[in-house]
Structure 1
Amino acid sequence: MPEIDAIDRNLLDAVQAGIPLVECPYRALGEGLGLTEGDVLERIARLKADSIIRNIGAIFDTSRLGYRSSLVGFRLREECVDEAAVLVNAHPGVSHNYLRSFAFSNDYRPAAYCPYNMWFTLAVEPESRLGLEDSVAVLARDTKAEAARLFPALRVFKIGVRLDMDAEAAGARKEAGNFFTGNGGAAAGYCLNPTERRIVQILQHDLALVEKPFCEIARQCGLDVETLLAGARELLQRKIMRRFAAILNHRKAGYTGNVMAAWPVSEEKVEAIGLQMAQFRAVSHCYQRPAYPEWPFTLFTMVHQKSREACEETVAAISRETGISDYAMLWTTREFKKVRLKYFTEDYAAWEEQTATRVPL
């Protein structure tokens, strides 16, 4: 891991929380940290060169843009995995795709479960002719999946990766805050005017490391910079944009462990338990998802930590606090794809056109 000092750690915490939507964002960021604008630019440039910072840009709420999305589980034979990954990754709405292995707590074994081994997230645009379910069906057929399930978010208790850069305090520490909560699925009343849609298209790209980076973005949108920034702030206020921030490379930032923990929580306890789980700083995502006869788990928590052992300790701490002793841990064994989702591109329609002849009857 590249060397980072205490100032770097404070800066990384700050840029993950949010970049100010002002004409000179790096100057404003520095003022809050006691740094000059030049120092902020130099440090971020170095952190990007060391691949600790992946990119800086707008992080949008997929459903509030009118997209439908879901976590998807496939069960694949080992000999089919590599070819299946290529086919799944070709869909522009797939941002994350992993091969995962199972481990259960203590002697817990659900009465029936399906060992889905490929897990990916899939989103389809508002104008999709194929839709989410048929897109999954096409991928399941083309990859020769033995079983496939959609696990859409029914309720969101927390969403957003913010790696804790305080090495001493990392672990099972708690945090308070206004986490994103609400129902999953497409948001009612979705409506972006052409200018807002263009702003979304532009803001999702990596922010330049110059004193006034929004000036060039405004020019590309055909707007003056203040109109652009006012539009961006309105998207943030309407929660269409969750935040404008940096995304870190987990491993380069020292977070080599991650696990998706699945918990069989009854419907009447889901809300209370979900809110408890969301308070753990190491939990980046906490969702209620549908259970099935072969899949009894209703709550999913994504845990990021500095090691596998630290992940296990965090999951155990969550178990102790919530009283949920039965759970499954799904460990990443291979990473096939991990990118930022791109919105309002022509790639979605192109994928559907190419696969039109393979749509299930």
Structure 2
Amino acid sequence: MGNEFDKILKIIQGEIPLVKRPFLVLAKELGLKETELLKVIEKLMEDSIVRQIAPIYDSKMLGYDSALVAFRVDKERLEKVANFINSCPGVSHNYERTHDFNLWFTLAVLPDTLSLEDIVKLMAKRTQTQDYVVLRTVRMFKIGVKLDYESTLERGSFSVNTYTYIPLSDEEKKIVSVTQGSIPLTERPFFEYAKKLSISEEELLTKLREFKERGILRRISAILHHRRAGFVANAMSVWKVPEDSIEEVGSYIASFKGVSHCYERTTNESWKYNLFAMIHGKSMEDVQRLVERISGEKALRDYVLLFSTREFKKERIRYFSEDFDEWLRKITSI
């Protein structure tokens, strides 16, 4: 059964097809019955190997402003500060990492509220954090976690498409609101959504396919609990790369299967590293081996590895929800 689980994990980390019976399509590829595949997926979720199977929407293409933020927090206050950061509905990921800047989180906000920088300032003030950095994406080389490799040194093909933002209609925002989150583990999951939206199943599928073409929907796929899936080491590698080498180095780093995310980011007086890569390995040695390979191949000596030591939050934000406005009203009234 272990080998069968591996095959299922691999295929559901790909793309759940936008058809009426997506699990039937995947089951046929695996040589299983549709009911068998659904039962195995349920088991994987019960065992906390699979977090969820859900649409992955692009916050930028939904009109959100986003950034990676790092706080420098005294160790004895870290958990309290992390809990406050977690209370913000615009925060999706929040980790303790091995660095003086030890609390790292991603923040996404709609621009019709306060600016992202103003919200970070407000967070810093409420938590009495004096030192922090806001690191924006300049260029994306790769995004997408797919834990289906044996060694971090394996390389594969990847591609990143660029899209033009087009504001969503109220009807489109409603579709995003209803379809975000874990999809129903039923034979016809999109039918369940269509009923809530009072449209036909085919109308919904047509709209979701259009979302993919516009870059709004990246894909629908499984998100794993890394550690339960055997990838116990998770580190953010940050590199100081000469401007004229960013394209070459970013593409090279992104080609490794052990790298899930690779971005060029802004720098400032407190932060000099302009290239970020998330690495997932089965051990710390795996991660270090890949970093040494990159350093040697590209003659990069100025870098730091920030290992994740605690996960405070990892969940998708609820797009077009009133939760953020309510949170903002609450903390500004204190």
Instruction: Give the TM-score category using the shorter length.
Output: over 0.9
**Which letter maps to 1:174?**
R
> How many equivalent pairs are there?
334
Alignment map for 1:1-361 (pairs within 5 Å)? 5-102=2-99, 115-128=100-113, 130-164=114-148, 166=149, 169-178=150-159, 180=160, 189-357=165-333
Task: Give the conservation status (yes or no) of the 8 Å contact 2:71–2:131.
Answer: yes
Deviation per residue, 1:296-349 (Å, 9 max, x gap): 100000001111111111222222232213210111122211112221111111
Query: In the TM superposition, what is the alpha-carbon distance from 1:264 to its structure 2 partner?
Result: 0.3
Q: Which runs of 5+ in 2 are unaligned?
A: none
Query: 1:287 and 1:176 mapped to 2: Cα distance?
Result: 17
- Compare 209-218 and 134-143 and name the one that shifted more: 209-218
Matched letter for residue 298 of structure 2 = T
User: Counterpart amino acid of 1:10?
Assistant: K
Shift of 1:188: 5.2
Say whether the 8 Å CA contact 1:80–1:143 is kept in structure 2.
no
Alignment check: 8 A CA contact 1:156 1:181 kept: no
What amino acid maps onto 1:287 in structure 2?
Y
1:94–1:123 contact (8 Å) kept in structure 2:
yes
With 236-245 and 313-322 compared, the bigger mean Cα shift is at: 313-322
Query: How does the TM-score come out when normalised to structure 2?
Result: 0.96
Q: Higher mean Cα deviation, 85-94 or 316-325? A: 316-325
1:174 CA displacement: 0.1
Work out the CA distance in 2 between the residues paired with 1:181 and 1:325.
Answer: 30
Residue 34 of structure 1: CA displacement?
2.2
String of CA shifts for 1:67-126, please: whole Å, max 9, x gaps. 001000111122321221111111101111111113xxxxxxxxxxxx311111111124
Counterpart in 2 of 1:105? none
- Measured in 1, the distance between the counterparts of 2:199 and 2:180 equals 17
Distance in 1 (alpha carbons) for counterparts of 2:5 and 2:151 = 16
Q: CA deviation at 1:213?
A: 1.4
Measured after TM superposition, the shift of residue 191 of structure 1 is: 1.1
Separation in 2, partners of 1:189, 1:248: 29
Report the CA distance between 1:352 and its aligned residue: 1.6
| Residue deviations 1:238-266 (CA, integer Å, cap 9, x gap) | 11111111111111111110000000001
Shift of the alpha carbon at 1:49? Answer: 1.2
Q: 1:234 aligns to what SS in structure 2?
A: helix
The 8 Å contact of residues 142 and 158 in structure 2, kept in 1 or not, is answered as no
Q: CA deviation at 1:293?
A: 2.4
Tell me the CA shift for residue 64 of structure 1. 0.5
Instruction: Give CA-to-partner distance per residue, 1:134-164, whole Å, 9 cap, x none.
Output: 0000001111112111001111001111112
Instruction: Write the distance in 1 (CA, Å) between the matches of 2:53 and 2:283.
Output: 26
Q: CA deviation at 1:357?
A: 4.1
Three-state SS of the structure 1 residue aligned to 2:107 is strand
Cα contact 2:133–2:271 (8 A) shared by 1: no
Check the 8 A contact 2:249/2:298 in 1, yes or no: yes
Instruction: Encode CA deviations 1:257-288: one digit per residue, 9 max, x unaligned.
Output: 00000000011111111011100000000011
Contact residue 156 and residue 288 of structure 1 kept, 8 A: yes
Using structure 1 for the length normalisation, give the TM-score: 0.89
Q: Distance in 2 between matches of 1:181 and 1:310?
A: 29
Q: Deviations over 1:169-215 (max 9, x none)?
A: 3331000122x355xxxx75431112211111122121112111111
Name the stretch that deviates more: 349-358 or 140-149.
349-358
Question: Structure 1 residues 39-48 or 54-63, which shifts more?
Answer: 39-48
Between the aligned partners of 2:332 and 2:125, the Cα distance in structure 1 is 13
Equivalent AA in structure 1 for residue 104 of structure 2: W
